[in-house]
């Protein structure tokens, strides 16, 4: 059974030297919240924003004299759910930490709000915990 939710797959290689090129690509993939499927195959849910991010990264990789191919793929239902959980679990853990931090007396709400924005940029499936954090931040922000 094939699902209707497409995924973007980035397959790339960059020269071994300088190592800064590989580190740059790896850091950017981690910032995006992409998931490694194999050594140099990374996935993101398909969408306008994620497509733009991966297209930009493809250009960067090619400028480094690397090779990059961007694919759109569909996964079997069981594989789809497992991959989706790989995206959801770290985001949910981050939201739980933010909620715990908000409960602490003297919580640094501006810092928590910044961390919330960073997490939201990787919350591709709009986790319910994210809505709870947003509500908690709004309530805590009122005098």
Looking at residue 1, what is its pLDDT? 39
Tell me what percent of the residues of the chain surpass a pLDDT of 70: 94
Domain ranges of the chain: 7-74, 81-138
Sheet with 67-76, strands from edge to edge, namely 35-38, 41-45, 2-13, 67-76
Task: Report pLDDT digits (tens) over 40-57.
Answer: 999 999 999 999 999 999
Q: How confident is the model at residue 142 (pLDDT cuts 50, 70, 90)?
A: low
Which residues are bridge partners to 8 per DSSP? 44, 72
* Helix pair angle (128-140, 77-103), 10° resolution: 20
Task: Report pLDDT digits (tens) over 7-38.
Answer: 999 999 999 999 999 999 999 999 999 999 99
Q: What's the CATH fold of domain 7-74?
A: Alpha-Beta Plaits (3.30.70)
How far apart, in whole angstroms, are the C-alpha atoms of residue 83 and residue 94?
Answer: 18
* Helix pair angle (109-120, 128-140), 10° resolution: 160
How far apart, in whole angstroms, are the C-alpha atoms of residue 40 and residue 15?
Answer: 13
Task: Report pLDDT digits (tens) over 72-88.
Answer: 999 877 788 889 999 99
């Amino acid at each position: 059974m094939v699902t209707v939710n497409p995924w973007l797959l980035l397959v790339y290689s960059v020269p071994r030297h300088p190592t800064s090129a590989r580190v740059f690509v790896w850091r950017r993939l981690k910032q995006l919240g992409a998931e490694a499927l194999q050594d140099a195959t990374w996935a993101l849910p398909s969408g306008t924003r994620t497509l733009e991010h991966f297209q930009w990264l493809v250009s960067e990789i090619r400028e480094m004299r690397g090779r990059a191919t961007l694919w759109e793929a569909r996964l079997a239902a069981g594989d789809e759910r497992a991959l989706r959980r790989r995206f959801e679990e770290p985001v949910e853990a981050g939201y739980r930490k933010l909620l715990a931090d908000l409960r602490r007396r003297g919580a640094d709400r501006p810092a928590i709000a910044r961390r919330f924005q960073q997490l939201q940029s990787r919350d591709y499936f709009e986790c319910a915990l994210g809505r709870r954090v947003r509500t908690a931040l709004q309530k805590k922000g009122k005098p």
